[in-house]
Amino acid sequence: MSTPRQGIDFFPLTVDLEERHYAIGQIPGSFFRREGRPTTQAILTCRLIDRPIRPLFPKGFKNEVQVIATTLSSDKETPLDILALNGVSTALSISNIPFHGPLAATRMGYIDGDFIVNPTYEQLNESLLDIVVASTKDGVSMMEAGATEIDEDIVYEAIEIAHQTNQEIINLQEDFVKIAGKEKSEFTPIGHDPEAIEKSRSILGDQIYQALCDASDQDEMREKLKDLEEGLKTDLEEDFESNVISGAFEELLDEQFRLRILKDGVRPDGRGLKEIRHLSADVSLLPRAHGTGLFNRGETQILGVTTLGSSGDAQKVDNLSPETSKKFMLHYNFPPYSVGETGRVGSPGRREVGH
Protein backbone atom coordinates (compact mmCIF):
# COMPACT_ATOMS: atom_id res chain seq x y z
CA MET A 1 0.00 0.00 0.00
CA SER A 2 1.33 3.43 -0.95
CA THR A 3 0.20 6.96 -0.16
CA PRO A 4 -3.13 8.31 -1.51
CA ARG A 5 -3.26 9.47 -5.12
CA GLN A 6 -4.74 12.94 -5.37
CA GLY A 7 -7.12 14.04 -8.09
CA ILE A 8 -8.55 10.61 -8.94
CA ASP A 9 -12.16 9.46 -8.73
CA PHE A 10 -11.49 5.73 -8.45
CA PHE A 11 -9.78 3.29 -6.11
CA PRO A 12 -6.33 2.42 -7.61
CA LEU A 13 -6.26 -1.32 -6.94
CA THR A 14 -4.01 -3.59 -9.01
CA VAL A 15 -4.07 -7.39 -8.84
CA ASP A 16 -1.25 -9.40 -10.40
CA LEU A 17 -0.73 -13.15 -10.67
CA GLU A 18 2.79 -14.43 -11.30
CA GLU A 19 2.84 -17.91 -12.81
CA ARG A 20 6.30 -19.34 -12.10
CA HIS A 21 7.26 -22.38 -14.15
CA TYR A 22 9.52 -23.65 -11.39
CA ALA A 23 6.25 -24.43 -9.57
CA ILE A 24 5.79 -27.40 -11.92
CA GLY A 25 9.48 -28.16 -12.45
CA GLN A 26 9.55 -26.70 -15.95
CA ILE A 27 11.72 -24.22 -17.84
CA PRO A 28 9.67 -21.51 -19.60
CA GLY A 29 9.17 -22.08 -23.31
CA SER A 30 9.98 -18.52 -24.41
CA PHE A 31 13.05 -17.69 -26.52
CA PHE A 32 14.91 -16.29 -23.50
CA ARG A 33 13.65 -19.08 -21.24
CA ARG A 34 12.17 -16.81 -18.60
CA GLU A 35 8.66 -15.72 -17.67
CA GLY A 36 7.24 -12.91 -19.75
CA ARG A 37 3.93 -11.07 -19.78
CA PRO A 38 0.97 -12.64 -17.96
CA THR A 39 -0.86 -15.42 -19.78
CA THR A 40 -4.53 -15.13 -20.66
CA GLN A 41 -5.39 -17.46 -17.78
CA ALA A 42 -3.35 -15.34 -15.37
CA ILE A 43 -5.21 -12.19 -16.44
CA LEU A 44 -8.57 -13.93 -16.05
CA THR A 45 -7.54 -15.01 -12.56
CA CYS A 46 -6.55 -11.43 -11.69
CA ARG A 47 -9.99 -10.23 -12.72
CA LEU A 48 -11.60 -13.05 -10.76
CA ILE A 49 -9.74 -11.89 -7.65
CA ASP A 50 -10.39 -8.19 -8.23
CA ARG A 51 -14.17 -8.40 -8.47
CA PRO A 52 -14.99 -9.70 -4.97
CA ILE A 53 -12.25 -7.86 -3.04
CA ARG A 54 -12.68 -4.37 -4.55
CA PRO A 55 -16.06 -3.60 -2.85
CA LEU A 56 -14.62 -4.55 0.56
CA PHE A 57 -12.29 -1.55 0.74
CA PRO A 58 -13.76 1.49 2.55
CA LYS A 59 -15.43 4.31 0.66
CA GLY A 60 -13.08 7.20 0.05
CA PHE A 61 -9.98 4.99 0.39
CA LYS A 62 -7.71 6.13 -2.45
CA ASN A 63 -4.34 4.72 -1.40
CA GLU A 64 -2.75 2.76 -4.21
CA VAL A 65 -2.92 -0.96 -3.37
CA GLN A 66 -1.14 -3.71 -5.29
CA VAL A 67 -1.82 -7.38 -4.64
CA ILE A 68 0.61 -9.95 -6.05
CA ALA A 69 -0.12 -13.68 -5.95
CA THR A 70 2.81 -15.92 -6.90
CA THR A 71 2.58 -19.63 -7.65
CA LEU A 72 5.21 -21.45 -5.62
CA SER A 73 4.18 -25.05 -6.28
CA SER A 74 1.50 -26.68 -8.44
CA ASP A 75 0.39 -30.26 -9.02
CA LYS A 76 -1.05 -29.33 -12.46
CA GLU A 77 -4.23 -31.10 -11.34
CA THR A 78 -6.07 -28.39 -9.41
CA PRO A 79 -6.83 -24.87 -10.73
CA LEU A 80 -4.88 -22.29 -8.77
CA ASP A 81 -7.36 -19.40 -9.02
CA ILE A 82 -9.43 -20.35 -5.97
CA LEU A 83 -6.35 -20.79 -3.78
CA ALA A 84 -5.00 -17.45 -5.03
CA LEU A 85 -8.24 -15.62 -4.19
CA ASN A 86 -8.42 -17.11 -0.70
CA GLY A 87 -4.74 -16.30 -0.19
CA VAL A 88 -5.29 -12.69 -1.22
CA SER A 89 -8.18 -12.34 1.23
CA THR A 90 -6.03 -13.75 4.02
CA ALA A 91 -3.13 -11.43 3.21
CA LEU A 92 -5.35 -8.35 3.14
CA SER A 93 -7.09 -9.37 6.36
CA ILE A 94 -3.87 -9.70 8.38
CA SER A 95 -2.27 -6.61 6.84
CA ASN A 96 -2.60 -3.02 8.05
CA ILE A 97 -4.56 -2.13 4.91
CA PRO A 98 -8.19 -1.08 5.62
CA PHE A 99 -10.26 -4.01 4.37
CA HIS A 100 -13.74 -5.18 5.37
CA GLY A 101 -13.01 -8.88 4.93
CA PRO A 102 -12.30 -11.66 5.04
CA LEU A 103 -14.04 -13.38 2.16
CA ALA A 104 -13.60 -16.80 0.61
CA ALA A 105 -14.22 -18.53 -2.71
CA THR A 106 -15.11 -22.07 -3.76
CA ARG A 107 -15.54 -23.70 -7.17
CA MET A 108 -18.31 -26.28 -7.60
CA GLY A 109 -18.64 -29.05 -10.18
CA TYR A 110 -21.47 -31.51 -10.85
CA ILE A 111 -20.77 -35.02 -12.17
CA ASP A 112 -23.22 -37.96 -12.34
CA GLY A 113 -25.58 -36.40 -9.82
CA ASP A 114 -22.86 -35.53 -7.30
CA PHE A 115 -21.49 -32.12 -6.35
CA ILE A 116 -17.71 -31.76 -6.41
CA VAL A 117 -16.09 -29.11 -4.21
CA ASN A 118 -13.07 -27.52 -5.93
CA PRO A 119 -12.85 -30.08 -8.78
CA THR A 120 -9.61 -30.87 -10.60
CA TYR A 121 -8.97 -30.00 -14.25
CA GLU A 122 -9.88 -33.57 -15.22
CA GLN A 123 -13.14 -33.43 -13.28
CA LEU A 124 -14.03 -30.07 -14.85
CA ASN A 125 -13.80 -31.66 -18.29
CA GLU A 126 -16.57 -34.07 -17.26
CA SER A 127 -18.59 -31.65 -15.14
CA LEU A 128 -21.93 -30.23 -16.25
CA LEU A 129 -21.30 -27.19 -14.08
CA ASP A 130 -18.35 -24.91 -13.37
CA ILE A 131 -19.32 -22.18 -10.91
CA VAL A 132 -17.12 -20.03 -8.66
CA VAL A 133 -18.86 -18.52 -5.64
CA ALA A 134 -17.22 -15.84 -3.48
CA SER A 135 -18.86 -14.75 -0.25
CA THR A 136 -18.37 -12.95 3.03
CA LYS A 137 -19.96 -13.72 6.39
CA ASP A 138 -23.02 -11.76 5.26
CA GLY A 139 -23.70 -13.53 1.98
CA VAL A 140 -22.67 -14.23 -1.60
CA SER A 141 -20.80 -11.33 -3.20
CA MET A 142 -19.70 -12.68 -6.61
CA MET A 143 -20.43 -15.59 -8.91
CA GLU A 144 -18.90 -16.70 -12.20
CA ALA A 145 -20.29 -19.73 -13.98
CA GLY A 146 -20.33 -21.83 -17.10
CA ALA A 147 -22.57 -24.84 -17.58
CA THR A 148 -24.54 -27.04 -19.90
CA GLU A 149 -28.32 -26.85 -19.61
CA ILE A 150 -29.04 -28.09 -16.10
CA ASP A 151 -31.89 -27.61 -13.66
CA GLU A 152 -31.91 -24.33 -11.74
CA ASP A 153 -32.32 -26.21 -8.46
CA ILE A 154 -28.93 -27.85 -9.06
CA VAL A 155 -27.33 -24.43 -9.47
CA TYR A 156 -29.03 -23.14 -6.32
CA GLU A 157 -27.80 -26.11 -4.32
CA ALA A 158 -24.28 -25.68 -5.67
CA ILE A 159 -24.30 -22.04 -4.57
CA GLU A 160 -25.51 -23.04 -1.10
CA ILE A 161 -22.81 -25.70 -0.69
CA ALA A 162 -20.15 -23.26 -1.89
CA HIS A 163 -21.35 -20.58 0.52
CA GLN A 164 -21.24 -23.03 3.43
CA THR A 165 -17.74 -24.10 2.44
CA ASN A 166 -16.70 -20.46 2.26
CA GLN A 167 -17.79 -19.93 5.86
CA GLU A 168 -15.36 -22.61 7.00
CA ILE A 169 -12.53 -20.92 5.08
CA ILE A 170 -13.50 -17.53 6.52
CA ASN A 171 -13.38 -18.97 10.04
CA LEU A 172 -9.84 -20.19 9.37
CA GLN A 173 -8.85 -16.74 8.12
CA GLU A 174 -10.34 -15.10 11.21
CA ASP A 175 -8.33 -17.43 13.43
CA PHE A 176 -5.21 -16.47 11.48
CA VAL A 177 -6.00 -12.77 11.92
CA LYS A 178 -6.18 -13.25 15.71
CA ILE A 179 -2.68 -14.73 15.64
CA ALA A 180 -0.89 -12.60 13.04
CA GLY A 181 -3.18 -9.67 12.23
CA LYS A 182 -1.87 -6.09 12.28
CA GLU A 183 -3.77 -3.03 13.42
CA LYS A 184 -5.51 -1.37 10.47
CA SER A 185 -4.09 1.96 9.34
CA GLU A 186 -6.06 5.15 9.73
CA PHE A 187 -6.86 7.06 6.54
CA THR A 188 -8.59 10.24 5.45
CA PRO A 189 -11.40 9.56 2.95
CA ILE A 190 -10.86 11.28 -0.39
CA GLY A 191 -13.84 12.22 -2.53
CA HIS A 192 -16.29 10.77 0.01
CA ASP A 193 -17.64 13.57 2.19
CA PRO A 194 -20.92 13.01 4.10
CA GLU A 195 -21.43 16.77 4.39
CA ALA A 196 -21.09 17.21 0.63
CA ILE A 197 -23.55 14.36 0.07
CA GLU A 198 -26.18 15.92 2.34
CA LYS A 199 -25.76 19.39 0.81
CA SER A 200 -26.03 17.88 -2.65
CA ARG A 201 -29.14 16.01 -1.60
CA SER A 202 -30.80 19.20 -0.34
CA ILE A 203 -29.96 21.08 -3.55
CA LEU A 204 -30.98 18.38 -6.03
CA GLY A 205 -34.05 17.04 -4.28
CA ASP A 206 -35.72 14.64 -6.71
CA GLN A 207 -34.12 16.11 -9.85
CA ILE A 208 -31.96 13.02 -10.47
CA TYR A 209 -34.99 10.76 -10.17
CA GLN A 210 -36.97 12.96 -12.58
CA ALA A 211 -34.09 12.98 -15.06
CA LEU A 212 -34.06 9.19 -15.04
CA CYS A 213 -37.83 9.07 -15.54
CA ASP A 214 -38.07 11.75 -18.24
CA ALA A 215 -35.19 10.67 -20.51
CA SER A 216 -36.33 8.91 -23.68
CA ASP A 217 -33.01 7.12 -24.26
CA GLN A 218 -29.58 6.70 -22.68
CA ASP A 219 -28.02 9.60 -24.60
CA GLU A 220 -30.66 12.00 -23.32
CA MET A 221 -30.30 10.59 -19.81
CA ARG A 222 -26.54 11.15 -19.86
CA GLU A 223 -27.01 14.74 -21.02
CA LYS A 224 -29.57 15.48 -18.29
CA LEU A 225 -27.33 13.98 -15.60
CA LYS A 226 -24.30 15.85 -16.92
CA ASP A 227 -26.21 19.14 -16.71
CA LEU A 228 -27.30 18.37 -13.15
CA GLU A 229 -23.75 17.56 -12.07
CA GLU A 230 -22.33 20.72 -13.66
CA GLY A 231 -25.01 22.81 -11.95
CA LEU A 232 -24.22 21.16 -8.63
CA LYS A 233 -20.53 21.96 -9.04
CA THR A 234 -21.41 25.60 -9.65
CA ASP A 235 -23.54 25.72 -6.49
CA LEU A 236 -20.95 24.06 -4.25
CA GLU A 237 -17.63 25.14 -5.80
CA GLU A 238 -16.88 27.49 -2.90
CA ASP A 239 -17.40 24.75 -0.31
CA PHE A 240 -15.89 21.60 -1.82
CA GLU A 241 -13.37 20.45 -4.39
CA SER A 242 -14.63 19.27 -7.77
CA ASN A 243 -13.84 15.59 -7.18
CA VAL A 244 -15.69 15.66 -3.84
CA ILE A 245 -18.80 17.08 -5.53
CA SER A 246 -18.57 14.49 -8.30
CA GLY A 247 -18.26 11.76 -5.68
CA ALA A 248 -21.34 13.02 -3.86
CA PHE A 249 -23.29 13.18 -7.12
CA GLU A 250 -22.31 9.61 -8.00
CA GLU A 251 -23.50 8.35 -4.62
CA LEU A 252 -26.86 10.09 -5.01
CA LEU A 253 -27.14 8.75 -8.56
CA ASP A 254 -26.53 5.22 -7.30
CA GLU A 255 -29.29 5.71 -4.72
CA GLN A 256 -31.75 6.87 -7.37
CA PHE A 257 -30.87 4.04 -9.76
CA ARG A 258 -31.57 1.58 -6.97
CA LEU A 259 -34.76 3.38 -5.91
CA ARG A 260 -36.18 3.36 -9.42
CA ILE A 261 -35.43 -0.33 -9.85
CA LEU A 262 -37.00 -1.33 -6.52
CA LYS A 263 -39.89 1.16 -6.53
CA ASP A 264 -40.88 1.30 -10.19
CA GLY A 265 -39.37 -1.93 -11.52
CA VAL A 266 -37.53 0.07 -14.20
CA ARG A 267 -33.83 -0.20 -15.03
CA PRO A 268 -31.65 2.81 -15.97
CA ASP A 269 -32.24 2.39 -19.71
CA GLY A 270 -36.02 2.28 -19.29
CA ARG A 271 -36.50 -1.49 -19.53
CA GLY A 272 -38.50 -3.55 -17.10
CA LEU A 273 -36.80 -6.08 -14.86
CA LYS A 274 -37.66 -8.97 -17.18
CA GLU A 275 -37.35 -7.12 -20.48
CA ILE A 276 -34.36 -7.84 -22.72
CA ARG A 277 -32.86 -5.39 -25.20
CA HIS A 278 -33.85 -5.64 -28.85
CA LEU A 279 -31.77 -8.28 -30.64
CA SER A 280 -30.85 -8.50 -34.32
CA ALA A 281 -28.08 -10.08 -36.41
CA ASP A 282 -26.76 -10.23 -39.97
CA VAL A 283 -24.14 -12.52 -41.52
CA SER A 284 -21.72 -12.74 -44.50
CA LEU A 285 -20.90 -9.03 -44.61
CA LEU A 286 -17.19 -9.09 -45.54
CA PRO A 287 -16.48 -10.72 -48.93
CA ARG A 288 -13.00 -12.17 -48.30
CA ALA A 289 -13.36 -13.26 -44.67
CA HIS A 290 -14.24 -16.88 -43.95
CA GLY A 291 -17.22 -15.75 -41.91
CA THR A 292 -18.69 -12.57 -40.44
CA GLY A 293 -21.58 -11.65 -38.23
CA LEU A 294 -22.96 -8.30 -37.10
CA PHE A 295 -24.83 -8.66 -33.81
CA ASN A 296 -26.90 -5.88 -32.26
CA ARG A 297 -28.30 -5.75 -28.73
CA GLY A 298 -29.93 -2.45 -27.94
CA GLU A 299 -27.33 0.26 -28.54
CA THR A 300 -24.46 -2.24 -28.42
CA GLN A 301 -23.03 -3.58 -31.69
CA ILE A 302 -20.49 -6.37 -32.24
CA LEU A 303 -18.74 -7.31 -35.49
CA GLY A 304 -17.43 -10.86 -35.35
CA VAL A 305 -15.00 -12.22 -37.95
CA THR A 306 -14.09 -15.91 -38.23
CA THR A 307 -10.95 -17.45 -39.73
CA LEU A 308 -10.51 -21.20 -40.25
CA GLY A 309 -7.06 -22.77 -40.06
CA SER A 310 -5.31 -26.12 -40.11
CA SER A 311 -4.20 -28.13 -37.08
CA GLY A 312 -0.80 -26.49 -37.42
CA ASP A 313 -2.39 -23.14 -36.56
CA ALA A 314 -3.35 -24.30 -33.06
CA GLN A 315 -2.07 -22.04 -30.29
CA LYS A 316 0.60 -23.43 -27.99
CA VAL A 317 -0.38 -22.92 -24.34
CA ASP A 318 2.52 -22.22 -21.99
CA ASN A 319 1.01 -21.92 -18.51
CA LEU A 320 0.64 -24.08 -15.40
CA SER A 321 -2.46 -25.98 -16.55
CA PRO A 322 -2.45 -29.41 -18.26
CA GLU A 323 -3.64 -27.80 -21.50
CA THR A 324 -0.94 -27.75 -24.20
CA SER A 325 -2.77 -26.27 -27.21
CA LYS A 326 -5.97 -24.47 -28.20
CA LYS A 327 -7.84 -24.97 -31.46
CA PHE A 328 -10.48 -22.33 -30.76
CA MET A 329 -9.27 -18.80 -30.08
CA LEU A 330 -11.51 -15.80 -29.43
CA HIS A 331 -9.83 -12.40 -29.68
CA TYR A 332 -11.83 -9.47 -28.35
CA ASN A 333 -10.97 -5.92 -29.43
CA PHE A 334 -12.32 -2.82 -27.71
CA PRO A 335 -11.11 0.24 -29.67
CA PRO A 336 -11.49 3.61 -27.90
CA TYR A 337 -13.75 5.02 -30.62
CA SER A 338 -16.39 2.37 -29.84
CA VAL A 339 -17.36 4.41 -26.77
CA GLY A 340 -16.61 7.84 -28.22
CA GLU A 341 -13.20 8.22 -26.60
CA THR A 342 -9.54 8.45 -27.51
CA GLY A 343 -6.92 6.15 -26.01
CA ARG A 344 -4.01 3.79 -26.43
CA VAL A 345 -3.95 1.43 -29.41
CA GLY A 346 -1.65 -1.58 -29.39
CA SER A 347 -1.42 -4.92 -27.65
CA PRO A 348 -4.66 -5.98 -25.92
CA GLY A 349 -5.22 -4.75 -22.39
CA ARG A 350 -6.65 -6.67 -19.47
CA ARG A 351 -10.19 -5.68 -20.32
CA GLU A 352 -9.89 -7.06 -23.83
CA VAL A 353 -8.30 -10.29 -22.64
CA GLY A 354 -10.81 -10.65 -19.83
CA HIS A 355 -13.78 -10.44 -22.15
Q: What residues contact residue 155 under an 8 Å CB cut-off, 6+ apart?
A: 129, 131, 145, 147
Any idea what DSSP says for residue 38? P
Q: Class for domain 13-180, per CATH? A: alpha beta
Instruction: Report whether pLDDT(311) > 80.
Output: yes
CA atoms within 13 A on the CB side of 21: 14
pLDDT bracket for residue 280 (50, 70, 90): very high
Position 295 scores a pLDDT of 96
pLDDT bracket for residue 148 (50, 70, 90): confident
User: Domain 194-264, what fold?
Assistant: Arc Repressor Mutant, subunit A (1.10.10)
| Strands 65-70, 279-283: pairing kind | unpaired
- Please provide the average confidence, as pLDDT, over all residues in the chain: 90
CA dist 21 and 319 (Å) reads: 8
pLDDT digits (tens, 9 = 90+) for 186-234: 887 777 788 999 999 999 988 998 888 888 778 888 899 999 999 999 9
Domain ranges of the chain: 13-180, 194-264, 279-354
CA dist 153 and 84 (Å) reads: 29
Give the three-state DSSP class for 319. coil
C-alpha distances in Å from residue 306, one per residue of 199, 284, 293, 315, 345:
54, 10, 9, 16, 22
Percent of the chain with pLDDT over 90: 58
Percent of the chain with pLDDT over 70: 97
First to last CA, the chain: 28
Position 62 scores a pLDDT of 86
